[in-house]
A = this chain, B = another copy of it.
Amino acid sequence: MKLKLPQVTVSRLALYLRVLEKLSRQGQELIRSEELAERCGVSAAQLRKDLSLVGAFGVRGVGYQVRALEKEIKRILGRDRIWHLALGGLNELGRALLAEERLARRGFRFVAAFDWREEWIGQVIQEVFVYSLEQLPYLVKESDLEIGVITLAGKEAELMAEKMYQAGIKALLNLGPDPLELKAEGLLIHNADFTVAFDLLAFELTHH
């Protein structure tokens, strides 16, 4: 319960897991740190050190059992279970998330969606029902919604965040443009503006 890892290590573990899942589907049973690291774009030492922070899963002189390592990393990341997600905001981004196979396949399951717009309420998108915000508290309890995923901007994002918090959601992933200002006791908030990836590329292209 108290495991502390550098955030970069956690995100690399997520990366390793993606590759392991793929190898596993392809039926590969064994992999060496060097090969796995190469596939993930990190050094072998880095990979082994990351793994050593959470346990010793390999066999000296041999390598790692793909399935066993996959299972271990899943457990460590909390990916050995189903997470119930609530979508806040039925814009293009929100609809793309509902359609994301990566999330569905990995146990991140959108159970309900919420919006203010009359045109969306009552619709079913990718098998997910769109509710009005009045129904939020009831559904959080009833469907055990844990993570709220926000795609809205500005005041709408802020209001959605508050409503979700009041309804009993434990964590918010904000994929919208504006960092959430809400500070709420016991609520875990991650602001994750994916468009930063474009700035990184622009920077590197600009400075060789």
Contact = CB atoms under 8 A, between A and B. Distances in A.
A35 interface: no
* A: contact size bracket: 35 or more
Q: How many copies does the complex hold?
A: 2
A108 interface: yes
A7 interface: yes
Interface stretch (A56-64, A92-100, A112-120, A132-140): A92-100
Contacts of A171: 201, 204-205
Contact of A179 (B19, B77, B147): B19
Interface of A: 1-5, 7, 10-11, 13-15, 17-19, 22, 39-41, 76-79, 83, 91-93, 95-96, 99-103, 106, 108, 146-147, 170-171, 173, 175, 177-179, 188, 190-208
29 contacts: A2-B208, A5-B203, A10-B199, A13-B199, A17-B199, A18-B178, A40-B179, A77-B203, A77-B206, A79-B199, A92-B95, A92-B99, A93-B96, A93-B99, A93-B100, A101-B177, A102-B177, A103-B195, A103-B198, A106-B195, A108-B198, A108-B202, A147-B205, A170-B205, A173-B197, A173-B198, A188-B205, A194-B194, A194-B197
